[in-house]
Amino acid sequence: MAISKNVNTASPRVSVFLILQGKSAQDPRVREAVRSVRADGHDVEVRVTWENGDAGRFANEAVMKAQQGRVDRIVAGGGDGTVNEVFAAAFRAGSFGHCSFGILPLGTANDFARSTGIPIDDMTASLRLTLVAPVCWIDIGVLDDSPFVNLVTGGFGSQVTAETDPALKHTLGGFAYVLTGLRRARELTACRGRFTARHFSWEGSFLALAIGNGRQAGGGIQLCAEALLDDGELDLMILPELDRNAGLEALGRFLHEGAGSVDGLKITARSPWVTFEAEEDIFINLDGETRSVSRFRVGCHRGALPIHLGHNLLLGTTNPTDDG
């Protein structure tokens, strides 16, 4: 069953394929959500991840069933990393158009879900949203060969993400990233590299970078506050190196309040593609996955993902969000 960009995807009976992060399998909120949706008359098939790669494998299974007309919704249940793994696998499988996608936010930060109005405290409401909210088509970014829906971040902030204690994240949620960053701020070391985009080129030392399809990361820190999910563009934000005291002060504001607190210092651009080159590796974070790179190219695939969101505040005026 193909999905048109202008078709109401709600139906009396919906077949849901839920890919659930393993540690959330015993969460009573998840069990109640599945029970409630089944009681509403819908089919919910659940797969639980156990080891690395499971989410992608289950996504491929769901895609195959969707292509056969047996699945209407593929729902990623987990944190930002699980969501990205499911969506990336489906994107690579070329499935979009056979079903639509949803999120059951069960992570620490849940940045993408938070920013798009998906309930993060009520799992039943989140799962039902996937059934009744209109489908909208959003962009997908691709860093080299790795798809993402939210943000690529780099520099000191990504190092903080990689080094934040999981136990602290469990206790403090997204604020754990802020606390770790502030604790490590005096160890701050700038990165150096060259950025190129449409009508834009910049080379120098920087404290942080963000390339946004979405707007926020690190538990609610606004990095690309004007990014839209459906405009075919990526928003680039660079926080350049400053002198030691000014850098520490700016970084503290940045980690606590987001990029809006350094408006007079940051460098921004908007482009459908961005390239980066450096002589040494830097840390980057791709929707929850940390890696070390010295060069990359990011592109934007416009209108690639049909998804059910809680609001349209991150959408432009051309997305057919009122068709469902």
pLDDT given for residue 7 in this prediction:
36
pLDDT given for residue 318 in this prediction:
54
Q: Among this protein's residues, is 241 annotated catalytic?
A: no
| pLDDT single digits (tens) 175-223 | 445 555 555 555 567 789 999 999 999 999 998 899 999 998 877 788 8
- Rg over alpha carbons for the chain, rounded to the nearest Å, is 19
> Is 3's pLDDT higher than 50?
no
Residue of 32, 61, 226, 289 marked catalytic: 289
Q: What is the DSSP string of 94-156?
A: T-TTS-EEEEEE-SSS-HHHHHTT--SS-HHHHHHHHHHSPEEEEEEEEETTEEESSEEEEEH
More confident residue, 266 or 67: 67
Residues 5, 303: contact at Cβ < 8 Å?
A: yes
Q: Rounded to two decimals, what is the model's pTM?
A: 0.84
Percent of the chain with pLDDT over 90: 61
Q: What is the DSSP string of 193-208?
A: EEEEETTEEEEEEEEE
Provide the mean pLDDT of the chain. Answer: 84
> Is 160's pLDDT higher than 80?
no
pLDDT given for residue 6 in this prediction:
38
| pLDDT single digits (tens) 208-267 | 899 999 998 877 788 899 999 999 999 999 988 866 555 556 666 666 555 555 666 789
| pLDDT single digits (tens) 20-39 | 999 888 899 999 999 999 99
pLDDT given for residue 144 in this prediction:
96
Q: Which secondary-structure segment (H or E) carries 57?
A: helix 54-67
Break the chain into its structural domains and give their ranges.
Answer: 15-133, 147-301
CATH code: domain 147-301 is 2.60.200.40
Q: How far is CA 152 from CA 67, 148, 194, 216, 318, in A?
A: 30, 8, 16, 10, 25
pLDDT given for residue 222 in this prediction:
85
> Is 106's pLDDT higher than 90?
yes
d(CA 91, CA 282): 27
pLDDT given for residue 238 in this prediction:
92
d(CA 199, CA 201): 7
CATH code: domain 15-133 is 3.40.50.10330
- Expressed in angstroms, the distance from the first to the final Cα of the chain is 16
Residues 44, 77: contact at Cβ < 8 Å?
A: no
Report residue 160: phi and psi, to 5°.
Answer: -60, -45
pLDDT given for residue 279 in this prediction:
93
Report residue 220: phi and psi, to 5°.
Answer: 110, 5
Residues 295, 154: contact at Cβ < 8 Å?
A: no
pLDDT given for residue 8 in this prediction:
38
pLDDT given for residue 191 in this prediction:
87
d(CA 96, CA 193): 35
74-93 burial, b if ≥16 CB within 10 A, otherwise e? bbbbbbbbbbbbbbbbbbbb
Q: How far is CA 304 from CA 71, 85, 148, 315, in A?
A: 19, 16, 11, 14
Q: Please compute the mean of the pLDDT values over residues 38-42 and round it to a whole number.
A: 96
pLDDT given for residue 245 in this prediction:
57
Residue position matching structure tokens 């156990």: 50
Residues 135, 306: contact at Cβ < 8 Å?
A: yes
Instruction: Name the nearest CA neighbour of 273 among 291, 289, 240, 296.
Output: 296
d(CA 76, CA 147): 15
